[in-house]
Amino acid sequence: MDGEPNAETALALTRAFLTELHPGARRPPRVTLDSALERDLGLDSLSRVELAVRLERGMGMGLTEQALGTATTIRELLAGLQLQPVGFASAVKNTELSAIRPEPGESLPAYATTLIEVLEWHARAHPDQIQIICLADAGEVRISYRELLQQADTIAAGLQRLGLEARQTVAIMLPTSPDYFYVYFGILRAGAIPVPIYPPARLSQIEEHVRRHTGILANAQTSMLITVPEARVVARLLEAHVPGLRRVVTVAELGGGDGAAPLPEAVHGDDIAFIQYTSGSTGDPKGVVLTHANLLANMRAIGGAIDIRHDDVFVSWLPLYHDMGLICAWLSSLYHAIPLVVMSPLAFLAHPERWLRAIQQYRGTISAAPNFAYELCVKRITDAQIEGLDLSSWRLAANGAEPVMPETLRRFTERFADFGFRPEAMTPVYGLAESTVGLLSPPLGRGPRIDSVRREPLSRSGRAEPAAADDPSALRFVSCGRALVGHAVRIVDDAGHEVDERIEGRLQFKGPSATQGYYRNPQQTARLFDADWLETGDRAYMADAEVYLTGRSKDIIIRGGRNIYPHELEDAVGSVPGVRRGCVAVFGSPDPTSGTERLVVLAETLLTGADAQAALRQRIVEASIAVLGQPPDDVLLAPPQTVLKTSSGKIRRAACRELFEAGKIGARRHAAWWQVTRLVGASLLPQARRMLATGMHVLHGVGVALLFGLLALPVWSLTTLARSPAVAWRVNRSAARLLLRLAGIKLVVNGIEHLPRTACVLVANHASYLDGLALFATLPLHFSLVAKREFLDHTVARLYLRGLGVLFVERFDLRRSADDAQRLADVVEAGNSLALFPEGTFERRPGLRPFRLGAFAAAVAAQVPVLPVAIHGTRALLPDGEWLPRRGTITVSLGEPVLPPQPPTDRFKAAVALRDGARAFILAHCGEADAGIG
């Protein structure tokens, strides 16, 4: 290929691009077809995209999304260009809008309490209504509500087939595609909890990717991960580092069954709908717990704030692993029955005009993006690319998820005014994962409101005093509006007292969208709450009852008693020639000598010569003086990929500060093969430990099984030959206590004083084969056990159980079952105590299931108390389907006897009351969730 004209053209275009990117470089990097885009040429994500655009334009060809996402060298980019002569913008065909828009007047699932109910409601109300239009290189894929539900059930069946249990967490590491939507609802339909994580963007950052996701998956206790085949290398590394991650699967592997998933356990509004891990711009990611109620409250409030109408169309390229793309774009569209036109983030980054063309093509009315996306459209899109563009349908352009820059609002509005974009459509908004997604929104159709304030009073004392129109040093902030309906915000000082308007402080909020905290992170949860208010982590002030964000609390630099806002200086330094734009971090570092913070500027560059770098430092100092009126204390120039960012591209200033204080700025990142090797090596010790633990468990289990075998024959013989069930009970009690002790299982009994001296009906939860042993070991007195009639067909079991005085009952024949219930009542009336499991046969899935009424009806008929007994820990020590028990603790809690009314006026109601009273105690002490009906 080296001799082909295409190769020479590609190399020439690349060299020209690098010269333009780093105009002051004395020795530009040597460029060959096999030059690594990141390691050799120092190109980050946006620079790679820009190079791809230059190659497309210069060679008159297109680049597939897959090639853009996976190419690591110029040769691979060139191969991707040869694969496809055009981008998907021309593949998007004319659409009949009537086919994707619902009929006017259709109601919404206003009474739904979960996302599952929302989808089921829409699938009944308008099953063939198009909900999602997924755009890709090959064209579009349309998904109706019916298909979304059917495909989700197929995924749910596949997950359950692989052993997924209710309320377990499942990670989704998929790109934007139809599969993502199916998988998300498939996890919910299986009764589990989705955990969205982002797929690896570049192989060269695999170590950082695995490190960050290891913490997420371990914190979430993820049992399964669903990904694409291409990501299996990373997935296997994650599997090696996360003890609980027992299976990595692809969507194809989940779709091989018949799609008939059993109904999940009852899901309620206060159950977790998914865990949204924060991007970690100011620290390690934290898992925000969001319930179905949180999501529905936020989506309904957003719908009211932006007045979602039946003829709206949402167009989005936002990644689905972030709340703005997942909730704001998709789930809100799904709830309000409007179609979502979605493309991958890579498609937008490569060709920003595709976003605008999709808005035109589908007559999009609503879209949202971070500030950088609007800036990218201004800088990247040429007039030729948008000839004939019509944006007149776009009524709401939400700008959020990162600081909103006043100049971006102006530039975008002016750039696209001639194409039908209206200034009032631009809508700065504010939200955060802790408030589900949305919190603040301005009046609809007003357009941006920008406030100019005097720099010195705000920096010194936090007073946002209006600045004169000609004040060159003024700070400008954008209003994000007021709190959504049903929510509230306030600004407080460092002492927690609410401040007046135009006084800067900490922004707090509360409302139905507010999270209950961070998943398995009580320390961070405690920091999140201030009584019933939640901290946003942002600073702001109010003016005319609207909120103006000034910066992240942790990022603001206090220097000489003055507040410095990093993003302002980062934007200015990013414009300095020689600095890689978007790759600047400004942060403060404590200076013990001066007693204040040092102002540090960390900037990426490809300039290597001493003179060139000295000149660049001077230009950065001049930029700082022009913006802040003072120079920085430290200017650090570093190679590409030094400035740390979140998955959404936000600067991780706190992490950069830690890197600076550890003296690791400029440390060269190892090659991908070395990172993989080191990760594999690091996983060997945990794997060895797990293998050792597994081996010890097997040896222990085998030992317990041998003990059981040694005890079984003598215990069976003594039981069958015992002169009375009471004697047989004492034999089994002694054997049970001995077996538990030798098996390393500790038995803790609470409330033994509640054991009645007279006849009673004992009811206990049933989670494992160990439950019988636990009851034998706990109860000193004989109880007549109740077992299913099927045991009579097995001679060994029949003789043993009859020796214990077990009563056999029918489960399937209604007439015989009724007779058995009366027989139980007769036994109790005769002065014998009964013990039974009202749930019936146990299952592997955790949860306390509904109780049958037979035992309670017998107690009412015999006028004896019901003794509730909660058994905790047996399911974990010996789950259904396993035969080797683990070491651990079993706790048996006896409640106070529940007495039936004397005499009962209505036996059925009395039995129900007894059942509910006993079940309430067991539910409170068995350590499992309620898996009952409703």
Cα 322 off chain centre by: 8
Binning pLDDT at 50, 70 and 90, where does residue 1 land? very low
pLDDT in tens, 379-405: 888 888 899 999 999 999 999 877 788
For residues 208 and 262, the answer to whether their CB atoms sit within 8 Å is no
Asked if residue 327 has pLDDT above 90, the reply is yes
pLDDT of residue 13: 81
Pairwise CA distance, residues 302 & 300, whole Å: 5
**Residue 354 or residue 694, greater confidence:** 354
pLDDT of residue 750: 94
Binning pLDDT at 50, 70 and 90, where does residue 87 land? very low
Residue 433 carries which DSSP code? G
pLDDT of residue 515: 95
Position of tokens 């198009």? Answer: 130
Pairwise CA distance, residues 609 & 350, whole Å: 32
Binning pLDDT at 50, 70 and 90, where does residue 813 land? very low
Asked if residue 500 has pLDDT above 70, the reply is yes
Please give the structure tokens belonging to residue 779: 């109860």
Please give the structure tokens belonging to residue 301: 């409030």
Q: Which residues pair with 835 in a beta bridge?
A: 762, 785
Asked if residue 912 has pLDDT above 90, the reply is no
pLDDT in tens, 523-579: 889 989 999 999 998 899 999 999 999 887 776 666 555 566 677 778 778 888 888
Asked if residue 904 has pLDDT above 90, the reply is no
For residues 480 and 428, the answer to whether their CB atoms sit within 8 Å is yes
Asked if residue 819 has pLDDT above 60, the reply is no
pLDDT in tens, 275-306: 998 754 334 668 999 999 999 999 999 999 99
Binning pLDDT at 50, 70 and 90, where does residue 897 land? very high
Backbone angles phi, psi at 235, to 5 degrees: -60, -40
Pairwise CA distance, residues 813 & 793, whole Å: 16
For residues 811 and 836, the answer to whether their CB atoms sit within 8 Å is no
For residues 613 and 637, the answer to whether their CB atoms sit within 8 Å is yes
pLDDT in tens, 220-259: 889 899 988 877 776 777 777 787 788 888 899 898 666 5
Asked if residue 505 has pLDDT above 50, the reply is yes
Asked if residue 598 has pLDDT above 90, the reply is no
pLDDT in tens, 451-473: 999 988 888 888 999 999 888 88
Binning pLDDT at 50, 70 and 90, where does residue 688 land? low
Angle at 471 between CA 559 and CA 504, to 5 degrees: 45
For residues 546 and 325, the answer to whether their CB atoms sit within 8 Å is no
pLDDT in tens, 699-744: 877 887 788 878 878 888 888 888 888 899 999 999 999 989 888 8
For residues 908 and 898, the answer to whether their CB atoms sit within 8 Å is no
Q: What pTM, to 2 d.p., does this model score?
A: 0.69
pLDDT of residue 88: 45
pLDDT of residue 172: 93
Average pLDDT (500-516) is 94
**Residue 342 or residue 558, greater confidence:** 342
Residue 273 carries which side chain, given as an amino acid letter? A
pLDDT of residue 331: 96
In Å, how far are 9, 360, 399, 403, 458 from 4, measured between CA atoms?
9, 39, 45, 46, 61
Tell me which H or E stretch contains 534: strand 533-543
pLDDT of residue 615: 85
Pairwise CA distance, residues 284 & 688, whole Å: 27
3-class secondary-structure state, position 429: coil
Binning pLDDT at 50, 70 and 90, where does residue 86 land? very low
3-class secondary-structure state, position 775: helix
